[in-house]
Amino acid sequence: MDEKDVILAKNGDSEAIEKVFLKYKNVILKNSRTLYIKGGDVDDLLQEGYIGLMKAIKSFDETKDVCFSTFANLCIKRQIITAVKSSNSNKNEKLNTSLIGDKDTNLDDLIQYSKPSVSYYSPEDLVLGKELLQLLKGFLDKNLTPLEKKVFTYICKQYKYTEIAKILEEEPKKIDNTIQRVRKKILDYLTEYTK
């Protein structure tokens, strides 16, 4: 595989993308082998590695004097490490719970609040992340029902589904089902976006 495949992959050639993914499979496995995500499994880390690889493909600039393999390695490592740090950290737990209130918080505020720390991201990651957040916000505004928006608000504040059920005066099963629908909508959207 050479950088022509990377350029083809960047332009959406599915065969080239598959070729790049196969070439970097072992790199992703190696980077994820010794780490774990709290509440997750090995597949979650592998998925993060592939997301990092996809970001590398999309943001690779062949005009710069940088080897793609070095750049891809860095993007894969950063993506996996950032995912692990985010999932294993409780540093914002007190801040999240201090936002609890009776008034509704709009999605824009929640997404703004939920942005990851800038210190772990490259400029390319920041641009892609900002773009994804704006697209995700628009998607959520259009595709979540009023109940799903309320439940999503409380999920972002780290409420448990039983607590949300009490607050919204709904059956816990209904809230649990709503959470599953919201997760599915977001995952479907993100999967489609990263294709």
For residue range 102-139, list pLDDT tens digits in order: 444 555 554 444 444 444 556 666 666 677 777 778 88
Q: Based on the fold, state whether residues 185 and 137 are members of the same structural domain.
A: yes
Q: What Rg value do the Cα atoms of the chain yield, rounded? A: 19
Clarify whether residues 77 and 108 are in a common domain: no
CA distance 148 to 62: 43
Task: Identify the domain containing residue 14 by its residue range.
Answer: 3-88
Q: Which residues contact 59 (CB under 8 A, 6 or more apart)?
A: 75, 124, 125, 127, 128
The total domain count for the chain is 2
Judgement on whether residues 123 and 177 belong to the same structural domain of the protein: yes
Could you tell me if 117 and 168 lie in one domain?
A: yes
pTM check: above 0.85: no
User: What would the two tokens of residue 127 be?
Assistant: 């641009």
23 and 52 share one domain: yes
Do 171 and 107 have their domain in common? yes
pLDDT, the chain, mean: 75
Q: Given phi > 0 = left and psi -120 to 50 = alpha, else beta, which region is 47?
A: alpha
Yes or no: say if 158 and 97 are a contact pair by the CB < 8 Å rule.
yes
